[in-house]
Chain A
């Protein structure tokens, strides 16, 4: 089965692969030093405590080794001295699409963002390289007191909430890339939902990389106050460049007593992107955090969304789908840290490896001995399409004590030549046949996703499988 990708993919088969000429107003130059941080703090007009925070983080970043002792050696291919860390147009995002510069507006129109906003979203933030070009929340949500702004605006306009939670769920030194993000973060969302407010439609952020040799480091902080509910969706794309692009985000969620946060990612990076993201939520008493994480594209993705189950009866869930095409490595998984009685967690991971694509599942479930009535369910299913594919599973489940229960199931299946022949005999192309098999494989999981997301996911899988047939 041929699996080589054509180098010049036409726009129809690869939706995010187009680029506009660069003309940034603000550019921190190439490479990373204290000067980079000083430049950013000045143009962003940030308070001193952020400058200190960034400087400390830079030190931590430089001290920490690359995690190549357990992760892919491919990480060594990242040259931190050749990356541009801050590129931005205007500092203040527009509230109306009419005020967004034409090329940026056209970018998001091609990606369908304004259309989705009109159809089903309560608010949108659209980030172009380092800063948001557009940010708007619909009146109905704003009236309820919901805050939805960029991280820079959040830390300046709402310091009383921002500072309380910023960097508390994911400390700077959590890993090398969380430290890097803490040093040079820009963009991302800050969301606060007041007690009891249930945001009826999703809030969405879209992260677009347009520049070459660039690193995007958005920082997102979502706080759902007691009894509130919110769904957040993020989408990402970048054009296909010959050089490596780095995307290293940090996302922190806080669900206070009885609150519910659902965080949905639709990632469709081009295959020159290193996507190294730290995502974690903290669930207080009776709160619920659910990550729906779909990883398509990128050269290497390392991402393990987690939930710290801090309060009694807190619930955490990670539903993830990873599609590793030829030349891609999806190293994904989930972390569930049980820190209170009667907490429960659920992990369902489905990975698909195509051609020489490689999918790795890493899980961590921790239940200390002194806890009672905790439950975890972990299911990892892998689908291999053609014999070169590789899949690995590393489920680390630590349970102590007799009063907790864990359940773990794993399966590996293959799409056989006979199955492909059967579908092709019914008139489907090889790509359509593979796509149908993949959609069947994730079907039981995708049924739990919001409808708009399932449709988008199916479309991305179709495109990816079409492109994987030579």
Chain B
């Protein structure tokens, strides 16, 4: 069986509007793929549909995680199967510390009669925090409550480090970050790259790809992947913008 996340002919509707149309994409483990495209083209829809957000209705297609169809699975089952999404706008959970949140998420991955061993958990948590250069005081703060944009994104990366997903979908992780925060978050992602993990980096700007160099770049337009090439495609987009894509792939109806 191939160790890859395979999206086949995926179509997705949101409130009766079709956003993704027959989208195809394959993300093997060990690779980083970037999805770029103008606003409103369906990039975040792809992320949320993969994670089984209840507002996104899948009308056709398949998503195979290491050969297993995940479309039959609930949100939490997909997560436990190894699919992680770094949120563009992560929710606040008042009163729940980062440590307790991660304990609950880690506990959820154990067998029903198995109890999480607290000292081991904290040892691992502190190792990951040291690796990502996150201050240990951070763990007692309520999750995302009063966090700056950069802190929210670092928290997402910390969760990814702890949960060790097979596939991580990073939804506009660079949005709202200043240049220093972008560098720190990118360093975190780079540390989590490896043969055991596929990363799908969704972004509007080329800038983050200077820090996280992708193996492949896909361009999305109007609910489809319209171009897939190496990392040089990102630079071309940076130079030329998205207009030439729009022109090249405009719907025949729109042309007329």
Which A positions have Cβ atoms within 8 angstroms of B?
Answer: 413, 416-419, 421-430, 432-433, 436-437, 439-444
Contacts and interface: CB of A to CB of B under 8 A. Distances in A.
Contacts of A436: 93, 96, 100-101, 104
Interface stretch (B84-92, B131-139, B219-227): B84-92
B130 to A, nearest CB: 22
Interface in B80-110: 80, 84-85, 87, 90-96, 100-101, 104-105, 108-109
A422 B90 contact: yes
B94 A441 contact: yes
Given A421-B54, A432-B108, A426 B93 contact: no
Contacts of B75: 421, 424-425
Contact of B74 (A419, A422, A424, A437): A424
B105 A437 contact: no
A413 B85 CA distance: 26
Given A427-B80, A428-B104, A429-B76, A440 B53 contact: no
B233 interface: no
Q: Which 3 A-B pairs have the closest CB atoms?
A: A440-B95, A440-B96, A443-B95
Contacts of A419: 91-93
Contacts of B108: 426-429, 432
A427 B93 contact: no
A440 B94 contact: yes
A424 B81 CA distance: 12
B87 A422 contact: yes
Contacts of A422: 87, 90-91, 93
A430 B87 CA distance: 18
Range class of the B interface residue count: 20 to 34
A250 to B, nearest CB: 35
B101 to A, nearest CB: 7
Interface in B107-143: 108-109, 142
B51 interface: yes
B156 to A, nearest CB: 10
A444 B95 contact: yes
A444 B140 CA distance: 13
A94 B201 CA distance: 68
Contact of B79 (A424, A437, A440, A444): A424
B94 A426 contact: no
10 contacts: A416-B91, A419-B92, A426-B163, A427-B108, A427-B109, A427-B163, A429-B108, A436-B101, A436-B104, A440-B142
B159 interface: yes
